[in-house]
Structure 1
Amino acid sequence: MSRVTLSLSGTEVLCREEHPSLLVALEAHQVEVEYQCRSGYCGSCRCRLVAGQVDWLTEPLAFINEGEILPCCCRAKGDIEIEM
């Protein structure tokens, strides 16, 4: 289980084993996230990884800058902080 801190609000959510992606974990805690494809194609869910690391479930096809992640196709690798 990983703790995910949302830097803009200070909200903390838990990412559990049953959550297949970071996006699903955020949704399970009623965190509103923009998304379209849920597969890494569109980049709509793009956010900045402030601290920590993620494991990519699939390589994102959407362009992301260094320090950005797509919650739809990754999981937290330990505790992380994201900007959203």
Structure 2
Amino acid sequence: MTWVMTSKKRFYLHDDESLLDGLLRTGHDISYQCREGYCGSCRVKRISSSHSVDYPFEPLAMIDEDEILPCCCRVQGVIHINHEPVIK
């Protein structure tokens, strides 16, 4: 089970649910467009995580080392993120 913590709330992801879908399900206001790592509009800051964050395929969007793409990343354990939009 994966637990997600934001400044707004704490919740867990359902089986096979993306981080983006979990954020939307729990009422977080997250921008997104492509859902495949191309545009980068969903990027959020990763504050901490108990496991590494990986991607089933390398995203095309440029992200900083402390950013993740909730639309296509895979998370496990506990992750704490800043869900406020990252301005680039």
**TM-score by shorter chain over 0.5:** yes
Q: C-alpha separation between the residues in 2 aligned to 1:48 and 1:25?
A: 16
- Taking a change above 3 Å as real, the CA distance of residues 25 and 35 of structure 1, as seen in their structure-2 partners, is same
1:17-56 mapped onto 2 (5 Å cutoff): 17-19=15-17, 21-52=18-49, 53-56=52-55
2:56 is matched with which residue? 57
CA–CA distance in structure 1, aligned partners of residues 78 and 45 of structure 2: 15
Counterpart contact for 1:4–1:76, Cα < 8 Å: no
Change (3 A) 1:82 1:2: same
- 1:39 deviates by 0.5
The structure with the largest strand share of the pair is 1
1:79 CA displacement: 0.5
* Shift of residue 10, structure 1, vs aligned partner: 4.3
Distance (whole Å) between structure 2 residues aligned to residue 75 and residue 30 of structure 1:
20
Q: Structure 1-normalised TM-score?
A: 0.86
Structure 1 runs of 4+ with >6 Å offset:
none
SS at the partner of 1:55? coil
Calculate percent identity across the aligned residue pairs: 46
Instruction: Give the letter aligned to residue 47 of structure 2.
Output: V
Query: Could you tell me which residue of structure 1 aligns to residue 86 of structure 2?
Result: none
Count of aligned pairs between the two proteins: 81
CA RMSD, Structure 1 to Structure 2 (Å): 1.3
Secondary structure in 2 matching 1:48: strand
Q: Which runs of 5+ in 1 are unaligned?
A: none
